[in-house]
Structure 1
Amino acid sequence: MDPIEPVEAEREYTMQSAAPLLHSGFLASVQRVPDNPALSLHGRTWTYRELDGIARLWAGALTRPAARPQRVAVLGHRSIVTYAGFLAALYAGATVVPLNKKYPVARNRDILERAEAGAVLADAGSHARLGPLLDGLAKPPLVVLPDSDEAPGTLPAGVRTLTRADLADPVRPAGPVAVAPEDGAYLLFTSGTTGRPKGVPISHANVAAFLSANTDRYRFTERDRFTNTFDQTFDLSVFDLFMAWGSGGCLVPMDGYDLMTPLDFVRDNDITVWFSVPSVAVLQHRRGALEPGSLPSLRWSLFCGEALPAATARAWQEAAPGSVVENLYGPTEATIACLVHRWDPRTSPAGVVNGIVPIGAPYPGMAAAVLAEDGSPVPHGETGELCLTGRQVFEGYLNAPEQTGAAFHVVPSAFGPDHRWYRTGDLVRRLDSGEYGYVGRLDTQVKILGHRIETGEVEAHLLRQERIDQAVVVAVPGDEEGVTVLAGILAGDGIDVCDVDGELRRTLPSYMIPLTYHLLDSFPLNDNGKVDRKALRRLVESGELEPVLL
């Protein structure tokens, strides 16, 4: 097949049976196994019937206003509100906009405003953040507090609220509000070079294609028990929730101490399906915790979000000998994951590039190509940018036509409409097996603990501070093998690094904060007169440029 003509992949997809909506699988499980456990959280379990009832109750409240909200934000952390609230928003026919309790108020407010959310579902643990979040909004959304008896006194005047009593007996809808597959399922915001996150709308059709491919691949059952290691602002969490609920299995979220001792959690909770960023496994491997045969309950071990070291895959496979280990790959713009490699201790090492497990082959309905900067295919086996097309690829960024245009190659086709190839920014090469091997990043975008970060966004926030004349953020190896951290290099007069760090923490999530800061009088330049980022990275990695003690 011509590397830029994905016609066979498209034809394959048309023969697949795909659920039309994100929550279709959950609704099917409510009918098929209503009394099975759907969610086990903090020692409490909810059945499918119970979770469905809660979601319908809250959806009824959301649909009561004359103009039902088109987008509903969900604010909380590992609570019944965050899980049932996601379903309730979908039942109300709205696009879900996850917020993160751990994000700075300014970032959540920016997301809320740009999403134009008409309602916010918030759990009791988020009350202290609601006042600052809504303060100053020209058109504050409806606030729904399902697990609270009263609204916090810090809410701005005039904000409409619904508490637990208001939700006690609304008129429940006969069923979820009808939406089209092309309508939005969820809206996430990813790191951007301008200093503002980019809005990534994912449609029901996009995510239904993803769920269909994974349903066919994994054949999960109602006896499976799934981890949930990701926050809902991380799109990998959608796999956790809706692959579990589509199979009739039970979702068992992890938090806090659980994430520090993940192997104990797997054993104590009879987990059968593990899904996390590779960093979690890397740390356990470094600690010597992946003893052979120590994870007997696992059937599937899935990793995504960053590069998976081959040594870690090998050690995890030995710890979970009854488990199939897979490395998934995909940007948020291509809906969670769209390439996959199944680890085989006998054959996989042949495809390892720089110690990293291959990212595999495309899902049904997806096609990949290795393209040069001008959009032309590179010769087989040579390095180029991985570009994607297919049913899982989004239409474009929220209200950002220029960013959307820059994100795609448009390639003329002799067989019909021109093809739009999403540019991932990842450098790969096609292996002899037909799969793809990961080489690195084309730009300054990096992955820290699975979170995609544009270092330019961190730099933009640094340069807003007084006294900082120049700022460069680079990714460097951490103390743990396979772990990447950020280092900030600053130039300017009278810089107080403690103040710089404190201000940054008021505006950015913790995973975007540099681990170390380094001061220079002036930055080195390359032959083109630009700041030499490679030289700065070498200075940090070699230790020649020492960190400032905080």
Structure 2
Amino acid sequence: MQAPAPLFLHSGFQASVQRVPEKPALSLRGQSWTYRELDGIARLWASALTGLEKRPRRVGILGHRSIVTYAGFLAVLYAGATVVPLNKKYPAARNQDILERAEVDVVLADPGSLAQLGPLLDGLADAPLLVLPESDEPPANLPPGVRVLTRRDVENRVPLAEPAAGDPKDTAYLLFTSGSTGRPKGVPISHANLAAFLSANVERYDFTEDDRFTNTFDQTFDPSVFDLFMAWGSGGCLFPMDTFDLMTPLDFVRGNDITVWFAVPSVAVLQHSRGKLEPGSLPSLRWSLFCGEALPATTAQAWLEAAPGSLLENLYGPTEATITCLVHRWDPRTSPAALVNGIVSIGSPYPGMAAAVLAEDGRPVPDGEPGELCLCGPQVFEGYLNAPELTENAFHTTVSEDGRTHRWYRTGDLVRRTAGGEHGYMGRLDTQVKVLGHRIETGEVEAHLLRQKGVDQAIVVAVPGEEEGVTVLAGILTGDDLDVYDVDDELRRTLPPHMIPMTYHLLDTVPLNPNGKVDRTALRRQVVSGELAALIP
């Protein structure tokens, strides 16, 4: 049974600590922690944070699939601070940019990230304090003057008696998404946004303390919050999947008797294309959930044949509207009729949320006609971090017949609404694409490419990968004196792996459309057809 609707992101976890203290909450590489144990670790680490001379406002978490990344998330919330997830797969320059823009006061890091701390903090005018709760010594490569708390410092603290008091309007976490200006955008999500999200999902799903949840997403990708806090709100157990587990995910599901699966469709697409989705091969699953990118109907059908005891849902939501806010439950009798270009519907809004299909000027378009999906409701964020102009451009404001003002977040997604109130996904209105569920502004990749030696023009397009249903990036470059291999090496120093083009293509000049703009459609067609020779670093 789920806990009552929470006021804070961590409220459901706290309720489970009281209700099922000895049940396993986290199973990680053969080791498990009960709710009581995980709560105790979080309280101890939260005490270290609140006991600092200056209580931290924002805390970065650097690590991967470790007790620090999970108990640390809770500890930061217990301390009344905002979680700022960092990704050890990202280049130091990108994580450093996030630290500076978020004005992070403290970085909580796991032992596997120690080598990255020196480059991360090097050159910062006001380096954050480091908390290393699982490390006995600080790394040797730290810049002079960086303050560090190690395991001994943390373990000498008295655990926090109760989580710090807060306001539901406080920011629970701050994520950075790809931005067309060449810099990621900060998206603050409040406890109130999350309370609305969690309440809708508590009502929707029958998760219990016997459920076993996957965690396929990195913490810099907001569906991971569903994994953690829907699992912990139900009293269930979280089973994080590492990179090697995602290569053979069906074995992981079977080996751990997983009951709740949640991932980007690409994982299932790959298994389907390799013939791994054998009928009845995933008997433990009760729920099969997908989000982050388009879900092909052929993959959905094959997955359900493999997991016939599960209900399959396609979820949709931008980071700005708190994880997911539309959902479609697959029904073999009715869902095929709602397909758009072979893609499963993204469904209808959660209770309390509203969706509108609007034209560029903010006026509604008729059902069945394409338009931009816009969202309104308690899950929608207030605005981007320190970016009022970006925020203003991200919303339509309308006034209803009864005089009420509605603020609609513009998703940039092109959809059409059916008479039944569901929405079919048709693509993007801009140059944003999805790669492995990550939102990428191709303009951001282009901006970084243009900074590289010898590059005069850079166009990035999304193209099909070798596996059916998987999208990758291709970079088209012009320049008389450029070395693709040097360009790729430099790009990897500033951008995360999912933003690196899979192939590069060199041109003397790029084609233009009748309006004098770069003809991206023609370039994409030439890449896909093989007309443009590919260089693969």
The residue aligned with 1:97 is: 84
The residue aligned with 1:134 is: 121
2:293 to 277, 288, 306: 306
* Alpha-carbon distance in 2 for matches of 1:114, 1:90: 20
1:189 to 167, 176, 200: 176
* Deviations 1:428-453 (CA, angstroms, capped at 9, x unpaired): 00113221000110000000011110
1:430 to 417, 427, 430: 417
Contact 2:110 2:133 in 1 (8 A): yes
Unaligned stretches of 5+ residues in structure 2: none
* Deviations 1:504-529 (CA, angstroms, capped at 9, x unpaired): 11111111011110011001111111
The residue aligned with 1:108 is: 95
1:147 to 119, 134, 142: 134
Greater shift, 484-493 or 169-178, is seen at 169-178
Deviation at 1:549, TM superposition (A): 4.5
Deviation at 1:347, TM superposition (A): 1.0
* Deviations 1:392-430 (CA, angstroms, capped at 9, x unpaired): 000000000000001000112343442110000000001
* Deviations 1:228-255 (CA, angstroms, capped at 9, x unpaired): 0000000000000000000000000000
- Which residue identity does 2:262 align to in structure 1? F
1:35 to 22, 35, 58: 22
1:124 to 111, 121, 129: 111
Greater shift, 404-413 or 540-549, is seen at 540-549
SS of the residue corresponding to residue 217 of structure 2 reads coil
* Alpha-carbon distance in 2 for matches of 1:119, 1:466: 35
* Alpha-carbon distance in 2 for matches of 1:36, 1:458: 45
* Alpha-carbon distance in 1 for matches of 2:421, 2:181: 36
The residue aligned with 1:295 is: 282
Deviation at 1:489, TM superposition (A): 0.3
SS of the residue corresponding to residue 139 of structure 1 reads coil
SS of the residue corresponding to residue 467 of structure 2 reads coil
* Alpha-carbon distance in 1 for matches of 2:363, 2:53: 51
* Alpha-carbon distance in 2 for matches of 1:104, 1:424: 28
- Which residue identity does 2:62 align to in structure 1? L
The residue aligned with 2:62 is: 75
- Which residue identity does 1:259 align to in structure 2? L
Q: 4+ residue stretches of structure 1 with deviation over 4 A?
A: none
The residue aligned with 2:494 is: 507
1:159 to 146, 149, 152: 146
The residue aligned with 1:411 is: 398
Query: Does structure 1 residue 337 correspond to structure 2 residue 337?
Result: no
Contact 2:454 2:480 in 1 (8 A): yes
The residue aligned with 2:432 is: 445
- Which residue identity does 1:319 align to in structure 2? A
* Alpha-carbon distance in 2 for matches of 1:32, 1:18: 15
The residue aligned with 1:420 is: 407
Contact 2:84 2:175 in 1 (8 A): yes
Deviation at 1:495, TM superposition (A): 1.5
Query: Does structure 1 residue 217 correspond to structure 2 residue 200?
Result: no
- Which residue identity does 1:242 align to in structure 2? F
SS of the residue corresponding to residue 96 of structure 1 reads strand
* Alpha-carbon distance in 2 for matches of 1:20, 1:307: 32
- Which residue identity does 1:226 align to in structure 2? F
* Alpha-carbon distance in 2 for matches of 1:427, 1:269: 39
SS of the residue corresponding to residue 440 of structure 1 reads strand
The residue aligned with 1:398 is: 385
- Which residue identity does 2:179 align to in structure 1? G
Greater shift, 532-541 or 369-378, is seen at 532-541
* Deviations 1:169-198 (CA, angstroms, capped at 9, x unpaired): 213222000111100000000000011000
Query: Does structure 1 residue 524 correspond to structure 2 residue 511?
Result: yes
Greater shift, 168-177 or 420-429, is seen at 168-177
* Deviations 1:157-179 (CA, angstroms, capped at 9, x unpaired): 11111100001121322200011
Deviation at 1:545, TM superposition (A): 1.0
SS of the residue corresponding to residue 410 of structure 2 reads strand
- Which residue identity does 1:454 align to in structure 2? E
- Which residue identity does 1:131 align to in structure 2? G
Query: Does structure 1 residue 326 correspond to structure 2 residue 285?
Result: no
1:170 to 153, 157, 182: 157
The residue aligned with 1:458 is: 445
The residue aligned with 1:266 is: 253
* Alpha-carbon distance in 1 for matches of 2:277, 2:243: 20
- Which residue identity does 1:442 align to in structure 2? L
Unaligned stretches of 5+ residues in structure 1: 1-15
Contact 2:8 2:195 in 1 (8 A): yes
Query: Does structure 1 residue 357 correspond to structure 2 residue 330?
Result: no
SS of the residue corresponding to residue 438 of structure 1 reads strand
* Alpha-carbon distance in 2 for matches of 1:380, 1:248: 42
The TM-score, its normalising length taken from structure 1, stands at 0.96
* Deviations 1:85-140 (CA, angstroms, capped at 9, x unpaired): 00000000000000000000000000011111111100000000001111111111
* Deviations 1:342-387 (CA, angstroms, capped at 9, x unpaired): 0011110000000000000000110000000000001111000000
Contact 2:440 2:499 in 1 (8 A): yes
* Alpha-carbon distance in 2 for matches of 1:168, 1:184: 28
The TM-score, its normalising length taken from structure 2, stands at 0.99
Query: Does structure 1 residue 472 correspond to structure 2 residue 467?
Result: no
The residue aligned with 2:472 is: 485
* Alpha-carbon distance in 2 for matches of 1:347, 1:479: 31
The residue aligned with 2:264 is: 277
2:363 to 369, 373, 376: 376
Deviation at 1:35, TM superposition (A): 0.3
The residue aligned with 1:12 is: none
* Alpha-carbon distance in 1 for matches of 2:75, 2:154: 12
* Alpha-carbon distance in 1 for matches of 2:103, 2:215: 28
* Alpha-carbon distance in 2 for matches of 1:449, 1:171: 42
- Which residue identity does 2:158 align to in structure 1? V
2:242 to 225, 230, 255: 255
- Which residue identity does 1:378 align to in structure 2? V
* Alpha-carbon distance in 1 for matches of 2:4, 2:21: 23
* Alpha-carbon distance in 1 for matches of 2:385, 2:251: 41
* Alpha-carbon distance in 1 for matches of 2:491, 2:457: 15
* Alpha-carbon distance in 2 for matches of 1:289, 1:212: 35
* Alpha-carbon distance in 1 for matches of 2:85, 2:402: 40
* Alpha-carbon distance in 2 for matches of 1:349, 1:549: 38
The residue aligned with 1:13 is: none
The percentage of counterpart residues that share the same residue type is 78
The residue aligned with 2:72 is: 85
Deviation at 1:538, TM superposition (A): 1.2
* Alpha-carbon distance in 1 for matches of 2:523, 2:42: 52
Deviation at 1:480, TM superposition (A): 1.3
SS of the residue corresponding to residue 86 of structure 1 reads helix
* Alpha-carbon distance in 1 for matches of 2:255, 2:525: 44
* Alpha-carbon distance in 2 for matches of 1:126, 1:549: 29
* Deviations 1:260-303 (CA, angstroms, capped at 9, x unpaired): 00000000000000000000000000000001100000000000
